[in-house]
Amino acid sequence: MNNNFSQHSETALDRLVKRLARLPGLGSRSAKRIALHMLLNRKDVMEPLAEALQETARDMKTCHHCFSIDTSDPCRICTDTSRSENTICVVASVADLWALERTRSFRGQYHVLGGLLSAIDGMGPRELNIDALLGRIQGEKVEEIILALSATVQGQSTAHYIADACNGLPVTVTRLAQGMPFGGELDYLDDGTITTALNARKAV
């Protein structure tokens, strides 16, 4: 009889559950439930998902221009000639860019900061793509930058930092206004709220 059962070496399933449990919003219980669901639906769920994961990991690139993620670099938004070159909408993350694109109410360019200023998390101006943004303002035909940042302490201090950095540059700095609930995270807002906030933006 094998008394070392509890010390058995890690199986592929254990590794899968561990990896799933590390995903945002999941814990080990939901990770196990998902893993079991996939195992019971190997052909319909697990194999197509594994393929989609591999394909996405292989094909998606970070756009060196706006720092969004797409199948091409530069991305499809940066190369879309039907979009205005005069306005850059500054967002913290790709999720926020997707939230704004979902509303179809903005037809300009984007710039993804890659986070927000936060002393606690060790996020300073150098950790964000702020220099690249300033470079774009100076080197392109930008007339306005819209700071579409969350109405949180970090979002607002990042907005102030960028507005200060743009001081003296030939660009109008605006930010989202009405519609943003206090403490609201952009990614979680409904389309109508985002559209109202975008249309009611104000000069900083």
Enumerate binding residues for Zn ion (CB under 5 A): 63, 65-66, 68, 74-75, 78
CB of 64 to Zn ion, least distance (A): 8
Alpha helices of the chain — where are they, by DSSP H?
12-21, 28-40, 47-59, 94-103, 130-139, 153-165, 191-199
CB of 75 to Zn ion, least distance (A): 3
Q: Which residue's CB is nearer to Zn ion, number 109 or number 152?
A: 109
Angle at CA of residue 100, ends 96 and 106, nearest 5°: 140
- Token reading at 31: 């990770």
Residue 5 DSSP symbol: G
- Contacts of 123 by beta carbon, 8 Å cutoff, 6+ apart: 115, 116, 117
d(C-alpha 3, C-alpha 99), whole Å: 53
Q: Which residue's CB is nearer to Zn ion, number 74 or number 115?
A: 74
- With left for phi above 0 and alpha for psi between -120 and 50, is residue 67 left, alpha or beta? left
Q: Which residue's CB is nearer to Zn ion, number 17 or number 66?
A: 66
CB of 87 to Zn ion, least distance (A): 14
Is the distance from CB of 200 to CB of 177 less than 8 angstroms? yes
Q: Which residue's CB is nearer to Zn ion, number 66 or number 147?
A: 66
Q: Which residue's CB is nearer to Zn ion, number 114 or number 184?
A: 114
CB of 201 to Zn ion, least distance (A): 22
Residue nearest to Zn ion (CB): 63
CB of 136 to Zn ion, least distance (A): 11
CB of 94 to Zn ion, least distance (A): 10
Is the distance from CB of 133 to CB of 111 less than 8 angstroms? yes
Q: Which residue's CB is nearer to Zn ion, number 68 or number 195?
A: 68
